[in-house]
């Protein structure tokens, strides 16, 4: 098996460092030290910290797309079960490390005011997640699990925004309870009213 390149190591370890300390809180020095590579390796592979951040986002989203396909966009499952499983995946993810890390995409959103390319990419990703939620909700309407009287786009936007808020609270409280609470309220109240 080939040895990972310094670039791959920097991205993998840099993702971990950024997830823990935030994009603005993680210095290039922190990233290089975590990767165990010379400082020059960073500048050889990345034009800037911003370019590095964009590559970290792409790697993280590539893994997230698997979860989207396996849950929200999985036509083999009943639609509301897909949404439930999607939330379960995130509860499991947010529970790691005592919920200290939050959602990497949400963390970038908090840190991205100074970087238009990062802010723009994060918005594109959240829009893609919303599209997947809408796809799932549309399937739920078609299957008779939800009424068509509600706006699935608005509901999807509400769900994605609520998840990001719950991830932020889970990070601050170091407890996944806000995400668990969101799931419980969503299925016991919000979606029940939409049936």
Q: CA 35, CA 11: separation in Å to the nearest integer?
A: 8
CATH superfamily for domain 1-46: Homeodomain-like (1.10.10.60)
| DSSP H or E run through 158 | helix 152-173
pTM of the predicted structure, to 2 decimals:
0.91
| DSSP H or E run through 60 | helix 49-70
Which class would CATH give 50-193? mainly alpha
Residue whose C-alpha is closest to residue 52's, from 78, 86, 17: 17
Parse the chain into domains and list their residue ranges: 1-46, 50-193
Neighbours of 188 (CB within 10 A): 9
Q: Per residue in 100-109, pLDDT tens?
A: 888 889 888 8
Residue whose C-alpha is closest to residue 164's, from 88, 114, 85, 105: 105
Average pLDDT, integer, range 69-98: 94
Q: By three-state DSSP, how is residue 173 classified?
A: helix
Q: Per residue in 119-158, pLDDT tens?
A: 999 999 999 999 999 999 999 999 999 987 679 999 999 9
């Amino acid at each position: 098996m080939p040895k990972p390149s310094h670039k791959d190591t920097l991205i993998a370890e840099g993702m971990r460092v950024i997830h823990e300390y935030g994009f603005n809180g993680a210095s290039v020095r922190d990233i290089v030290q975590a990767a165990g590579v010379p400082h020059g390796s960073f500048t050889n592979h990345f034009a800037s910290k911003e370019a590095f951040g964009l590559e970290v986002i792409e790697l993280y989203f590539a893994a997230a797309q698997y979860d989207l396909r396996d849950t929200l966009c999985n036509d083999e499952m009943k639609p509301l079960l897909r949404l439930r499983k999607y939330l379960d995946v995130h509860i499991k993810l947010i529970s790691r490390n005592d919920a200290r890390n939050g959602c990497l995409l949400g963390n970038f959103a908090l840190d991205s005011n100074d970087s238009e390319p990062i802010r723009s990419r994060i918005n594109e990703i959240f829009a893609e997640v919303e599209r997947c939620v809408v796809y799932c909700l549309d399937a739920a309407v078609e299957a008779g699990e939800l009424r068509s009287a509600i706006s699935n786009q608005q509901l999807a936007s509400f769900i994605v925004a609520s998840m990001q808020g719950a991830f932020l609270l889970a990070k601050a409280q170091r407890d996944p309870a806000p995400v668990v609470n969101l799931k419980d309220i969503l299925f016991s109240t919000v979606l029940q009213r939409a049936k």
